[in-house]
Amino acid sequence: MGFFYFDESIHPRGKFALGSFVYSETSLDSTVSKALMESGLIPKVDEFKSGARMDRNPEQARVRELLKEIIHEQCGIGVVVAPNTPRELLGFEAPLGLTKILSTIKFRSETHEVFFDKGIFENEVEGRLQAAKVPSTCPPCTFHFEQDSVQVLGLQVADLVAYSCAMMLLAQLGLLKKMVKAGENSGYDPNQDMELEFELWAGLRRSFFAAPPPPVDSWKSQLDYQVDVASRGLHIADSCDSNVRDAALIRFGRMYLGRIH
């Protein structure tokens, strides 16, 4: 049985709401629980929140690094982009993004559990109405709506991915300019300054649901080592502002997987 977790990050100044599906072939409860405990937090009491000030919350910063490792080791990522208003639009589009993933990606598991964080839908009844958009030709899913991320720990991973991808999209739109230190295990000088969106992209780029890369013998250079995400792991609402649509396609539509240092 596979597990999907969905959370969102809403940005009125960018005119978008971005939701992320995080997938694992096994429940993320135990791995996230371990990450919280290793960071000095209590599972199902405390939680990771991506919007917290990490420089003032060392426990949160430690959890973030451990969750990044979980994503790298065992998760797939799908992104849904919709207008930020009305709020319910993201809930309308999320099942369409899930359908794209289920119909284009081959999973080991034949059935899936799908967890949506609180507030994605107006209520559980509306959630079930929208989830009915997922066609019966897709692998069977059991849906869980209005879930509490303190209790459903995998939602905390989806929160991190949604926030990270939203920051990347804000930067693509020219609305975010922030430099961070490369840090340890980055492949760069730990004290080197780099753009925040590059650091976020570098950590997630290999996890997006995507088509297989082109054959090596077809490459003209390392720059051809790219995969198509747009047809598998990216869904953009037709109602999105054209600038948002274009930026999302540039940022997420294709992923370069070659060397970056």
Does residue 261 lie within any of the structural domains? no
Does residue 184 lie within any of the structural domains? yes
Dmax over CA atoms of the chain, in Å, equals: 52
DSSP 32-72: HHHHHHHTT--BTTB---TTS-GGG-HHHHHHHHHHHHHHH
Question: How many structural domains are present in the chain?
Answer: 1
C-alpha span between 156 and 148 (Å, rounded)? 10
Say which residue the tokens 């925040």 belong to.
196
Does residue 106 carry a pLDDT above 60? yes
Residues 189-221 pLDDT 10s? 666 778 989 999 999 999 999 999 999 888 888
Does residue 207 lie within any of the structural domains? yes
Sheet strands side by side (includes 76-82): 141-147, 112-117, 2-11, 16-24, 76-82, 234-236
Does residue 188 carry a pLDDT above 80? no
C-alpha span between 244 and 151 (Å, rounded)? 33
Does residue 229 lie within any of the structural domains? yes
Does residue 107 lie within any of the structural domains? yes
| pLDDT value, residue 53 | 81
261 or 187: which carries more pLDDT confidence? 261
- Domain with 41, as residue range(s), is 2-256
Task: Read off the pLDDT band of 54 (50, 70, 90).
Answer: confident
CATH code, domain carrying 12: 3.30.420.10
| pLDDT value, residue 180 | 75
pTM score of the predicted model:
0.94
| pLDDT value, residue 79 | 98
Does residue 109 carry a pLDDT above 90? yes
| pLDDT value, residue 259 | 86
